Amino acid sequence: MDPTNDPNFTPPSLKRDIEPPAPSSRIPKNAPIQPLVLADMGNAVDAPSPHPSVSSSSGSSSAKAKNPVTFTDDSLPSQYPHAKIPRRHTELVSSSSDEEKVQTKPILPPTIKVKSSQIADLEEVPHGIQRQAKTLDKYEFPTHRLATTLSDDTKYPLVIVACGSFSPITYLHLRMFEMALDTITEQTRFEVIGGYYSPVSSNYKKQGLAPAHHRVRMCELACERTSSWLMVDAWESLQPKYTRTALVLDHFNEEININGGGIMTASGEKRGVKIMLLAGGDLIESMGEPDVWADQDLHHILGKYGCLIVERTGADVRSFLLSHDIMYEHRRNVLVIKQLIYNDISSTKIRLFIRRGMSVQYLLPNSVIRYIQEHKLYINETEPVKQVMADKAD
């Protein structure tokens, strides 16, 4: 999210009391998203990178919740048998109802194959889906579609997080995750175990922004039946002020790796999960604008977590990465996702169509369209011509 839309925004050069992000000791040490080359690894180019091993704990549930997953370089094994992508798993358990508190089967990472349950009645509101609270005191981190067991022990676990306005969520926002899944599966040694939308709070200063609880609900409707692995986390949207992206990623690390203890492997060990930001090329370009993003935040986001960048039409992301000093420094933790079928649907244009009484059918899920109609969103609003003409995916 563009920090300049924070109503209390102060240029980093003039602000000396920036809240520090999480220390490195609380973030799992994972391999970069980009495979290392022969000169870096000292091994064959096609040899997989070794997994970070997890220090053993007492095994009690209380220790798992309180102690962060730690890693030691000395314990890294030297060789792993090569594993061919794509990964496989037998079944992904659907969301349990409120009465079913205990899962009888482990949830495994998503596959690219479309399931039969995703074909019919995709956008009807299903039963038994974990919904997000509307107040921070009732908030619970969603894990109903987060994999509980890694299906391939030779892979690194990865969670994808998309921060944004999502006002409203569109098919491009949904496609971004699927494009990321394809690219990660084909080009890296990581295994995606879950994906999250994190809508920004209502304190984000931007015209066309629907109230946070509406945007969270639309995101939930969009992925309840259209996806078997995407979830919505309302924590950022419930904050009383704008939350910097670095701190949002720290929140996911806290919930997944510190409180959750990482993910279980088939051999029974706990392994730390890499968390990466999924963003469009326009957000990345804002990182190059002077005095907008604090350097410490960029180093934290790109160095400790990493970024998946979806190219947009007319954007030269690779040239930007080459010219940006901090991004170039962390280039191996940045993965550019090329759109093979270009999709430039934008929330800005969706809002414009709604104001003009035009059809938005097939641009966003039917369930989201019905929700917009029922709550009369975006109808009697105006936006600056400059913002509409900029036409960013937001």
Q: pLDDT value at position 264?
A: 94
Residue 52 token pair: 């970070």
Question: Prior bond to 168 cis, omega within 30?
Answer: yes
Q: pLDDT value at position 126?
A: 61
State how far the alpha carbon of 293 is from the alpha carbons of 15, 28, 283, 285, in Å: 12, 24, 11, 11
Rg from Cα positions in the chain: 21
Which residue, 167, 166, 242, is CA-closest to 205?
242
CB-based burial, 142-163: b 16+ in 10 Å, e otherwise: bbebbbbbbbbebbbbbbbbbb
Domain edges within the chain? 139-344
Whether the Cβ atoms of residue 282 and residue 92 lie closer than 8 Å to each other: no
Query: Which letter does DSSP use for residue 107 in this model?
Result: P
Place of tokens 């839309």: 5
Give the residue ranges of the chain where pLDDT is below 50. 37-49, 51-68, 70-101, 117-123
Residue 296: which residues within 8 A CB-CB, separation 6 or more?
18, 20, 21, 246
User: What sections of 119-271 are H helices per DSSP?
Assistant: 171-187, 212-224, 245-253
Residue 290: which residues within 8 A CB-CB, separation 6 or more?
none
Bridge partner residues of 191 (DSSP): 157
Place of tokens 């639309």: 218
Q: pLDDT value at position 65?
A: 44
pTM score > 0.85 for this model? no
Q: pLDDT value at position 112?
A: 57
Q: Percent of the chain at pLDDT above 90? A: 49
| Domain over 139-344 is classified CATH 3.40.50.620 | yes
